Chain A
Amino acid sequence: MDGVPLFAHRQANDVIAYQRGNAIHARQFLSDIERLRGVLPETRHLLLACQDRYHFTVGFAAGLLSGRVSLLPSTLTPEVIRQLRLYAPDAICLTDDPDCAIDLPRVRFPMGPGPDPGPGPGPDPRGWSVPRIPAGQLAALVFTSGSTGVPIPHAKTWGPLVRCVRVEAERMGLASGGGWAIVATVPPQHMYGLESSVLVALHSGNAFCAERPFFPADIATALAAVPAPRVLVSTPIHLRTLVAVDVALPPVGLILSATASLSNKLAGELEARYATPLLEIYGSTETGQIASRRTTATDEWWLWPEVRLTTQNGQASIDGGHVEVPTAMGDILEKTGDDRFLLCGRTADLVNVAGKRSSLAFLDHQLMSIPGVLDGAFYLQEGSEPSGTGIARLGALVVAPTLDAGTITRQLRERIDPAFLPRPVLLIPEIHRNATGKLARHVLRTLVARS
């Protein structure tokens, strides 16, 4: 048969997801997809804003099976929505939030009990079949912020998406099914969340949890609502908070972390506290996931098979495997073997706050586009990490004689993700730039210190 199946579950009553602790079976999933397809208008682009991970997945699958493309922007600020409308004028927003204020034509996810999916599979095999999707079909456009204010789309085709998470399932030890339940603190709209909760569950015959727990106690509750064996898919921020509060969790068979490097110390504490291995995943929006490591055992990242790393003049490039075109990485990667590398920091302009990536050039551009701002520059506050979450935040120097800091922050909130909002906004009379208009880092540091 042609194409790549929607999921790897073999029986109609295999569990695909848990929603509020209730199992949702493969047959129900297919029925819910058809129900949603029945209410979607005839448009090609679908912004998946559902907060419930199962609703998101039904929307994603309904898109796949009807030739639609899912739009996954990195943030949903009014400015990003405006840009999306320019990019895909036919886009509609699928939401499960009655108060959703996204400025696109909105379709409410059909709630309440759907039609009975019918009896379980009988002796007639025609009663059950898993849809297949052409490997080359465009499944999603995942956006990064770019440097000029226009979001940059990255095409994700179905075959490579599946190929990537099949490797991930092997690395996680989930490949042979086994009834794993995956609880994730990251949203499915983020590349890591899409791959490591939704897609890895679909393509290892396991189940994901529809809820997205946030506080440590919520994570414990979400894990307790699903049967063992359990996987916790999370980020250094959430995991650091778990350890700091010392919350008790039900037995967990694996913890997965991505979006930023986890320290060896915290990885060790997590493994000891929760008696489980911890795996880290490395990837990017452009490439998807490409490497993993057992942090307590090694600093080296282990590439996916067939994915190759080359470096030239300090610039790392990835291709092969599910990465269809050579892709330059925003990180400095030092090759230590054919399939191993060390992560040695970010290239100069990129900032990563809580797994959200942007560039200082993009942020400066947004700042300067505010009426009344004459000059301005974002900077990373080095060595100012707060106690618990360990997140380095941004500040900004702004020349804007007619504006106050509050106005500038409100204007920025319309334009950039809240994670990048500068704190503090330092208003200064002028910024001295060099002949090329650039602002040397040391000049910037002096200005910050003086302010």
Chain B
Amino acid sequence: MDLMSDHQNAPATAGQLSSSGELVREIAGLITQALNLDMSATDIDPEAPLYRDGLGLDSIDILEVSLVVSKRYGVEIKADSQDNQNIFRSLRGLAEFVAEHRTC
């Protein structure tokens, strides 16, 4: 049993907002930096799942990403509301969430 959480099982739905490629690349940069990923930001497929077979992140990584993203953009990330359930489905999903909720 995953000690941290099991949000990777959250069902995915299509995002409502499109977000700029610039924001996607910026967040990709934050992720590779925060997690010491052995790849460049442009190597992350914006549509691929962040969990498991996509980028292969686990829940500890997701907590780390949530931390850097919430500090950088002033967004509050929660797992318990319907709207927020799909934030981590992909880099694109995360960028859409940030675009919609950022305060800085």
Q: Interface of A with B (CB < 8 Å)? A: 49, 51, 72-76, 97, 99, 185-187, 189-190, 211-215, 217-218, 221, 235, 237-238, 241, 244-245, 259, 353-356, 384, 386-389, 391, 393, 409-410, 413, 417-419, 421, 423-424
Contacts and interface: CB of A to CB of B under 8 A. Distances in A.
Contact residues on B (Cβ < 8 Å of other chain), bracket: 20 to 34
A401 B36 CA distance: 25
Contact of A245 (B6, B35, B71): B71
B34 A186 contact: no
Contacts of B60: 237, 353-354, 389, 391, 419
Given A221-B80, A413-B52, A388 B67 contact: yes
Given A51-B6, A386-B35, A391-B60, A213 B80 contact: yes
Interface of B: 1-7, 9, 11, 34-38, 52-53, 56, 58-60, 63-64, 66-68, 70-71, 76-80
Contact of A187 (B1, B7, B11, B64): B1
Main secondary structure of the interface of A (DSSP, over half): loop
Nearest to A47: B1
29 contacts: A97-B9, A186-B3, A187-B1, A187-B2, A189-B1, A211-B80, A213-B80, A215-B63, A218-B78, A218-B79, A221-B78, A238-B63, A241-B66, A244-B71, A353-B60, A354-B4, A354-B60, A356-B3, A386-B36, A387-B67, A388-B34, A388-B68, A410-B53, A417-B2, A418-B2, A421-B56, A423-B35, A423-B36, A423-B38
A214 B1 contact: no
A421 B76 CA distance: 28
A322 B9 CA distance: 37
A74 B59 CA distance: 15
A99 B58 contact: no
Given A73-B1, A186-B3, A389-B60, A245 B67 contact: yes
B1 A245 contact: no
B78 A237 contact: no
A409 B39 CA distance: 15
B48 to A, nearest CB: 12
B99 to A, nearest CB: 19
Nearest to A222: B80
B18 to A, nearest CB: 25
Contacts of B1: 49, 72-76, 187, 189-190
B65 to A, nearest CB: 9
A218 B35 contact: no
A217 B76 contact: yes
Given A213-B80, A410-B53, A384 B4 contact: no
A241 B67 contact: yes
A353 B66 CA distance: 19
A99 B56 contact: no
By Cβ-Cβ distance, the 6 closest A-B pairs, closest first, are: A189-B1, A418-B58, A424-B38, A388-B67, A214-B5, A217-B78
A179 B77 CA distance: 30
Nearest to B35: A386
Contacts of B66: 215, 241
A245 B77 CA distance: 11
B80 A237 contact: no
Contact of B3 (A49, A221, A259): A259
Contacts of B63: 214-215, 237-238, 241, 388-389
A387 B7 contact: no
